Amino acid sequence: MTLTLTVSDEVRALAPGFTHVAVEAHELVNGPSTEDSSALLDDAVRRLAVRLDGRAPHEDPHMAAWRAAYTAFGSKPSRTRNSAEALARRALTDAGLPRINVLVDLYNAVSVAHLVPVGGEDLDLIQGGMSLVRASGEEDFVTVAGGEETVEHPDAGEVVWRDEAGVTCRRWNWRQGPRTRLTEQTTSGVFLLESLAPMPVAEVRTAAAELAEILEKFSPGARITVREPEPAA
C-alpha cells in the first residue's frame, strides 16, 4: 500500500512556493556505513563546495527561502536550521559529515549535493498516513534527552510532519524523532525531498532521481517508486 502524504492548506498558505517529492522503496538492504556510502558523502561535500563557490550555506537562495519560512512560523532559523543547511554547515567543517548507516548516508549525500532537505522514514514504523501541518501544540513528539526517552510538544503554529501516533519531525525538517527513523533493520522506507521557490521543481526531480538510482545500486532488486511533486499553490 502506498503511503498517503498530505500538506495542509495552512502550510501552503504559509509557504506558497513549497513542493515535495517522495521516493518510496521496498526490499531495501541497510547496515553500517561502508566505504562506498562514505565515498558518496565525500563526493557530496565536493559538489557542495562547487555549488556554494565560497558562500556560506545560508547565503544560497534556497537556504535563504527556508530561513524566511522558518521565521514565518515563529522559529529562529539561526538556531534551528533546516536539515540541509545544518548538514551543509557541518560538511564544511573539519568534523565533516556523520556516517550513520547506509540508507541515511545515501539520503544525506543527496541532500548536501543538491542543498535540499531530505528526510527518511521507516514505512513499517509509520502509523497511518503522514501529514504536514501547523501544530496545535498538544501533539506528542517522542524523543531522547540525556539517554532517556521523553515526550515533548511542538509550539503552537509550528510546522511539523506527523502520523496518527504523533509528530515524526519537528520544525518542518529540523529534528526527526527516533520512533520512525531508518535503522539497520529497515527494509522499507520513504524519503521526502522538500523545496521552496526559487529552487526549480526540475532540480527536485533530478535530486529524487539520483536518490532512486543510488538506492537501487546499494539495494539491487529494491522496488522503488518516485512520486512526482505536487504543483506549488
**What residue spans define the domains of the chain?**
5-227
pLDDT value of residue 147: 82
Cβ-proximal residues to 186 (8 Å cutoff; 6+ apart), any chain: 28, 30, 103, 122, 124
All three cell numbers of 123, joined, read: 514505512
Place of cell 503552537: 156
pLDDT of residue 233: 47
Residue 211 near residue 224 (C-beta atoms within 8 A):
no
User: Which cell numbers in the block locate residue 59?
Assistant: 547565503
Instruction: Write down the pLDDT at residue 230.
Output: 64
Helix axes 83-91 and 35-52, enclosed angle (nearest 10): 100
**Cα gap 125→49, rounded to integer Å:** 36
Signed CA dihedral, 136, 152, 7, 115: sign only: positive
- Determine the Cα–Cα distance for residues 218 and 147; give it in Å rounded to an integer: 32
Backbone angles phi, psi at 189, to 5 degrees: -145, 160
> Helix or strand or coil: residue 50?
helix
The single-letter code of the amino acid at 16 is P
CA 12 to chain centre: 18
CA distances from 220 to 8, 26, 110, 132, 224 (A): 36, 11, 19, 31, 10
Mean pLDDT by 10 residues, the chain (233 residues): 90 95 97 98 97 96 97 93 97 94 98 98 97 96 87 96 97 96 97 97 96 98 88 52
Topology given in CATH for the domain delimited by 5-227: Phenylalanyl-tRNA Synthetase; Chain B, domain 3 (3.50.40)
User: Contact at 8 Å (CB) between 80 and 171?
Assistant: yes
The predicted model scores a pTM of: 0.95
- What pLDDT was estimated at residue 224? 97
